Amino acid sequence: MRGADEMRVLLVGASGHVGRMVLHHWQNSLGATRITPQFRRTSHAGSLAWDPLKGALPLVDAVKVSGSFDAMIMLGGVTPGLGKKLDINIKLAEACLSAASQAGIRRVLLASSSAVYGARDGVAFTERDLCIPTNDYGAAKLEMEQVCAPWRESGIDLCFLRIGNVAGADALLLNIARAGPKEAIEIDIFSDGRGPIRSYIGAQTMCQVLQSLCRYPSALPQILNIAAPMPLAMDALADATGHPWRPRPPSEISHQNIVLDCNLLTSLHPFHTYDTRPSEMVRQWKETLDS
């Protein structure tokens, strides 16, 4: 594998919410590995115009002209929403893996979701746990993993990223961004006086994790939980924004503590203590808003 200053990485899904934030921080990080963002249609210099669902030719041609990519980060896909066809995630993932194979890209980081695990209160999910998704999005992402897993046998170093909440692309901060300055949002507050506890990661920290995984000198695990090592309470995250909020009682089926075990990730990427702080995650999010 080439040195960090010589490596080239392709970011598929650069126009998505997480993709935009990661790209911003990547392009503004010192000494970063070179990144090429992919858009379906683009006139931006240094980017790749390519629709994976229409075949691999634009990617293969780009490699012939500019040289190979050391890794592909695939963050594109369909997120939950009324009437959205979630099976597109499977087709898009397969198309990207096929294109990576044809273009000689040997490492692919493919965005999955912590939603594949389902809901379990109080015990952190590890990568070895049985997946019992409780919604259509989690089921679609799990099916995507199962369909795409055989690509590892073809020689691609394929790693499924089971991503927790990315601060700024999560429901809480999106609701705050959409609300007026004095419009209070609502947060479930449980009997201990705290809100839901979830695994979060800031956009800049996410960028740094992806850089570490692209540069990792050995084969990656097939599955990685992606979040900061310590979970946080959503009321603490809201407090860090300074936006007003008010408590509401949780429903009978609400789970307070659904979190990821990120010990495997911490063996591959050196986190800082401040990466887990709500204030730092909010800072990273607001930087992308200001841009």
Q: Max alpha carbon distance in the chain (Å)?
A: 61
Q: What is the pLDDT of residues 98-122, one digit of tens each?
A: 999 999 999 999 999 999 999 998 8
For β-strands 197-198 and 232-233, DSSP reports them as antiparallel
Domains of the chain in sequence order = 8-166+201-227+260-274 (3.40.50.720)
- 155 backbone φψ class: left, alpha, beta (φ>0; ψ -120 to 50): left
Structure tokens at 174: 């999106």
pLDDT above 90 coverage of the chain, percent? 86
Mean pLDDT of 50-70: 95
Q: How many CB atoms lie within 10 A of CB 52?
A: 24
Closest CA to 69 of 95, 33, 27, 21: 33
> What pLDDT, in 10s, does the model give residues 175-192?
999 999 999 999 999 999
Average pLDDT, the chain: 93
pLDDT on residue 87: 85
pLDDT band at 243 (very low <50, low <70, confident <90, very high): very high
Contact 269, 211 (CB under 8 A): no
The residue with greater pLDDT, 270 or 85, is: 270
Statement: residue 129 has pLDDT above 70 = yes
Average pLDDT over residues 232-259: 96
Listed range (37-41, 146-150, 167-171, 258-262) with the worst mean pLDDT: 37-41
Judge whether residue 3 has pLDDT over 70: no
Q: Is residue 136 pLDDT above 60, yes or no? A: yes
Specify the pLDDT at position 289.
87
Q: Is 203 left (phi over 0), alpha (psi -120 to 50) or beta?
A: alpha
- Chain-centre distance for alpha carbon 183: 29
Residues 62-74: what's their mean pLDDT? 96
Residue 213 burial (10 A CB sphere; 0-12, 13-18, 19+): buried
List beta partners, residue 163.
Answer: 226
Q: Is the pLDDT of residue 279 over 60?
A: yes
